[in-house]
Amino acid sequence: MGKIRKIMSIFIVSGLLIAGCSKESSSASKDYGLKNVTFPLKEKVTLKFMIQSSPLAPKDPNDKLIFKRLEKKTNVHIEWTNYTYDSFAEKRNLAIASGELPDAIFYAGLSDYELLKLAADGTIIPVDDLIEKYMPNFKRVLEKRPEYRKLITAPDGHIYAFPWIEELGSGKESIHSVDCFPWINVEWLKKLGLKMPKTTEELKKVLIAFKTQDPNGNGKADEIPMSFIINHGAEDPAFLFGSFGLGDNWDHTVVTNDGKVVFTAAQEGYKEAIKYLSELYKEGLIDEEAFEQDFNTYVAKGKAGRYGLYFTWDKANITGMNDKYDLMPPLAGPTGEINVTRTNGMGLDRGRMVIMSANKNLELTAKWIDQLYEPSQSVQNNWGTYGDTKQQNIFELDKKTGMLKHLPLNGTAPVELREKTSVGGPLAILDEYYGKVTTMPPDAAWRLDLMKKVMVPHMKADNIYPKVFFSLDELKELSKIETDLFSYVNRKRAEWIKNGKVEEEWPEYLAELKRLGLNRWLEIKQSGYDRFYK
């Protein structure tokens, strides 16, 4: 799991932070002595920020129209130290370790653990006072959504970073509610005269028909009835587990409606779901590569139209935006029960921008950052801008209403265009902006519509497990347990689907979960949850 790898790398990094931190030798700007700052400044000054951006974007971030306009608006010139995504974390950590600190880090990509470490050793400063005094745009966001103030406040009561907030639907209707959508080949269903399956047994029959009745009509048994990438977020078949009880998701965590945190991979229903999948495997209905393939291999077979059923966030990325595949509704399991398990996802990244303790122009910096939370600015930071005469635009600006309207992409991949022109960083896009400040991105609007119609009616859980801000000690303990616990669970999950031994090995498996610290893990997660909702 990506998350576990990330946690392990943090431990390595943190040693570096402690070893090399010296705040004297800094490359931050000098003190300009500015007070009661209003934009544009009468005289231009320079602040020094570090940033990461896409390899597709210009090397100098100031070549982006969004930053050009911001410099004009504020008369603050930003001297960027820019690294591409792949090398950023390493360069950032080296700079911190060597004490070569900029004024701030934009698009900082810091985990909770890193944030709290940097706060504890005084590399970054708490920003709660700056928000109160100098940041009306950001304050407005926190007033409208007090839950974000809760979520970005560290257990010691301070806020250490400016977040990225992107709302796309809320509650059960959030775009993050289910990450692994099941996409079924409706062309094959039609060809074979089959109906959309409604139960797990019907799905099994459909997959057998896909395997044996040559739906692509080439005389060969080359169809792959079902594929997935095991333990790989949205490509994992976790969706099918919902037919057997509480279901499963990538972090194996759900919350019952009476507020109890449950580890999905220790439940009876989880075992039944694995049994079902192992039956499918035994029948030869699961792609042999489902347990080892990388994303590119998965896409290649998808593009070639070989799948009967597969899993991913958006079919456009695998089999294209055509009518060959459709979203398969949730299935009734052996007891007749239908349940859609929610993913613990939120459009929130706490550590998007931090101010270094070396910064001598706090009011100026805070007021500059506050510009990023102005609604229309936030929208552009996230997706790109309008009125660029040199390249394709993601938006046009309605001059009468000030609304940003998504333009047709004419075949350009949305992600590619966004990465060239957007700037990321701290921002907030709230649900009420859609239809006023901006139109919704068409790919998101389409997915939200499917979520609402197909998935939401069957979601039994009232709450997800939110992005609780744990303390440094809790994070250490959680990651220590998770490293072994999650790799064991995910390994057994894959093994059992192939070897069918889940029933006989189950008691021994439960004992091993206990030995690896499951009870303590649940205790920490439960207390975090209770703290959030109290």
Task: Report, in Å, the least distance between residue 191 CB and Ca ion.
Answer: 11
Instruction: Sort strands 224-226 and 253-255 into parallel, antiparallel or unpaired.
Output: unpaired
Q: Contact, 171 vs 179, CB < 8 A? A: no
Q: Which is nearer to Ca ion, 202 or 214 (CB)?
A: 214
What is the rounded CA–CA span in Å between residue 289 and residue 298? Answer: 9
Q: Is 213 in the site for Ca ion (CB under 5 A)?
A: no
Q: Which is nearer to Ca ion, 22 or 212 (CB)?
A: 212
Reduce the secondary structure of 135-180 to three states and give it as a string.
Answer: CHHHHHHHHHCHHHHHHHECCCCCECCEEEEECCCCHHHCCCCCCC
Stretch that binds Ca ion, among 73-81, 221-229, 423-431, 498-506 (CB under 5 A): 221-229
Q: Which is nearer to Ca ion, 94 or 221 (CB)?
A: 221
Q: Contact, 474 vs 251, CB < 8 A? A: no
302 DSSP 8-state letter:
H
Q: Dihedral angle at the C-alpha atoms of 26, 31, 37, 41, nearest 10 degrees?
A: -90
**Which residue among 121, 128, 173, 214 contacts Ca ion (CB under 5 A)?**
214
Give how many residues touch Ca ion by CB under 5 A.
Answer: 5
328 DSSP 8-state letter:
P
The mark string for 461-490 relative to Ca ion (x by CB under 5 A, - otherwise) is ------------------------------
Q: Is 189 exposed, middle or buried (0-12, 13-18, 19+ CB in 10 A)?
A: buried
The mark string for 317-356 relative to Ca ion (x by CB under 5 A, - otherwise) is ----------------------------------------
What is the rounded CA–CA span in Å between residue 487 and residue 474? Answer: 20
Stretch that binds Ca ion, among 136-144, 219-227, 370-378, 393-401 (CB under 5 A): 219-227
What is the rounded CA–CA span in Å between residue 53 and residue 347? Answer: 19
Task: Report, in Å, the least distance between residue 183 CB and Ca ion.
Answer: 19
- Residue in this structure with the two tokens 């050793």, named with its chain if needed: 121
What is the rounded CA–CA span in Å between residue 504 and residue 271? Answer: 11
Task: Report, in Å, the least distance between residue 446 CB and Ca ion.
Answer: 30
Q: Is 216 in the site for Ca ion (CB under 5 A)?
A: yes
Task: Report, in Å, the least distance between residue 302 CB and Ca ion.
Answer: 16
Q: Which is nearer to Ca ion, 129 or 222 (CB)?
A: 222
Q: Which is nearer to Ca ion, 216 or 527 (CB)?
A: 216
Q: Is 187 in the site for Ca ion (CB under 5 A)?
A: no
Task: Report, in Å, the least distance between residue 218 CB and Ca ion.
Answer: 5
Task: Report, in Å, the least distance between residue 215 CB and Ca ion.
Answer: 7
Stretch that binds Ca ion, among 222-230, 252-260, 381-389, 451-459 (CB under 5 A): 222-230
- Residue in this structure with the two tokens 């700037």, named with its chain if needed: 423
Q: Which is nearer to Ca ion, 305 or 329 (CB)?
A: 305
b/e sequence 24-52, b meaning 16+ C-beta within 10 Å = eebbbbeebeeeebeeeeeeebebbbbbb
**Which residue among 30, 195, 220, 390 contacts Ca ion (CB under 5 A)?**
220
Task: Report, in Å, the least distance between residue 285 CB and Ca ion.
Answer: 15
One-character DSSP codes across 182-240: EEEEHHHHHHTTPPPP-BHHHHHHHHHHHHHS-TT-SSS---EEE---TTSGGGSGGGG
241 DSSP 8-state letter:
G
**Which residue among 36, 218, 389, 410 contacts Ca ion (CB under 5 A)?**
218
Task: Report, in Å, the least distance between residue 214 CB and Ca ion.
Answer: 4
Stretch that binds Ca ion, among 48-56, 207-215, 225-233, 315-323 (CB under 5 A): 207-215
In the complex, the residues that contact Ca ion under the rule CB under 5 A are 214, 216, 218, 220, 222
